[in-house]
Amino acid sequence: MHLVRLACERPDDVGRSLSQWHCQDLANQLISEHIVPNISVATVQRILSSHKLKPWRHHMWLYPKEQQDAEFYQKISDIIDLYTRPLAESEIVLCLDEKTSLQPRPRSHQTKPAQAGNIPNLCEHEYKRAGALNLFAAFDTRSGKVYGRCCERKRQEEFISFLEYIEAEIPPTITIIHVVCDNFSTHRGKKVRQWLDKHARFKFHFTPKHCSWMNQVEQWFSILQRKRFRIADFESKDDMRDKIYQFISEWNEQAHPFNWSKKSVAKIMAQAPVDEAA
């Protein structure tokens, strides 16, 4: 049980300068503490596996400084309703955000494709800096279609330009465009509010603080990152822009929505503390 106890402690707490435990580190620690004269890495791994312990893994989480109030849950409920209720033929729900600082990173030598004989893709370590772009994207929660535009900057001006692009792309038969986005200043600045006053079919819905997971375009961004930017190797910003647009076009040919339901969200929200007195 000494091993299990050690694996459930932070390395710093036992005087080790490690971010997390690995099997070899645990074996070395047991020996240095004279718990055992010797122990193999395989034995450590087998014992941890029997207790379903993997101290080398980690996940990000946010400790709630305060219990969430009724307003927080009302905002969650309103957005989930947008995601799950039947929509009228005249309305659409878009999840919108920016993927920032996308760098072309042209390589010193061309990336080589995988080869038979278990040879992986070969990506040159050295690359040149060639600036960066910001991708504004909106994900249609019912069809999975993506609207996207790349910009040099991410000010209110660029955001408004993207809204105008959406305005032109979505037919006038759609009279209500629900937009789900976060509270970033670009999304709710004075110029944006003035623009929205003149475009009545846009209805903004802001996610609560620390709830980026509720924005479905983030799921699509993770797909984009994995499939297009795992190896960043573009000749220039223009080349990267063209290939991002190509990726969006190819996605839209086989677009699909994500499976969101009130039940799945309820499981997540059940882990958050609620202020009963609110």
Q: What is the pLDDT of residue 68?
A: 62
Domains in the chain, number: 2
- Please check whether residue 55 lies inside any domain of the structure: no
In this predicted structure, the answer to whether residue 90 has a pLDDT above a threshold of 80 is: yes
Pair (108, 164) in one structural domain: yes
Range of the domain at 28: 2-50
Q: What is the pLDDT of residue 77?
A: 85
Q: What is the pLDDT of residue 28?
A: 94
Pair (153, 195) in one structural domain: yes
- Please check whether residue 65 lies inside any domain of the structure: no
Quote the tokens at residue 50. Answer: 């029997």
- Please check whether residue 74 lies inside any domain of the structure: yes
Q: What is the pLDDT of residue 59?
A: 80
**Average pLDDT for the chain:** 90
Classify residue 245 as exposed, middle or buried by CB count within 10 Å of its CB (0-12, 13-18, 19+). middle
Collapse the DSSP code of 190 into the 3-class scheme (helix H, G, I; strand E, B; otherwise coil) and give the result: helix
Pair (37, 139) in one structural domain: no
CA atoms within 13 A on the CB side of 254: 3
Pair (257, 128) in one structural domain: yes
Pair (36, 129) in one structural domain: no
CATH number at residue 86: 3.30.420.10
DSSP code, position 100:
E
Tell me: the pLDDT tens digits for 171-184? Answer: 999 999 999 999 89
Tell me: the pLDDT tens digits for 157-168? Answer: 999 999 999 999
The length of the chain in residues reads 278
DSSP code, position 34:
T
CB 130 within 8 Å of CB 113: no
CB 137 within 8 Å of CB 163: no
Per-state percent for the chain, helix, strand, coil, to nearest 5: 40, 15, 45
Pair (40, 153) in one structural domain: no
DSSP code, position 93:
E
- Please check whether residue 64 lies inside any domain of the structure: no
Alpha-carbon span 202 to 246, nearest angstrom: 27
Classify residue 92 as exposed, middle or buried by CB count within 10 Å of its CB (0-12, 13-18, 19+). buried
Q: What is the pLDDT of residue 62?
A: 58
Q: What is the pLDDT of residue 278?
A: 35
Pair (21, 148) in one structural domain: no
Pair (35, 92) in one structural domain: no
Alpha-carbon span 198 to 102, nearest angstrom: 32
Q: What is the pLDDT of residue 206?
A: 94
- Nearest 5°: the CA angle 130, 136, 142 is 140
In this predicted structure, the answer to whether residue 69 has a pLDDT above a threshold of 70 is: no
Q: What is the pLDDT of residue 276?
A: 41
Tell me: the pLDDT tens digits for 128-157? Answer: 889 999 999 999 999 999 999 999 999 999
Pair (18, 85) in one structural domain: no
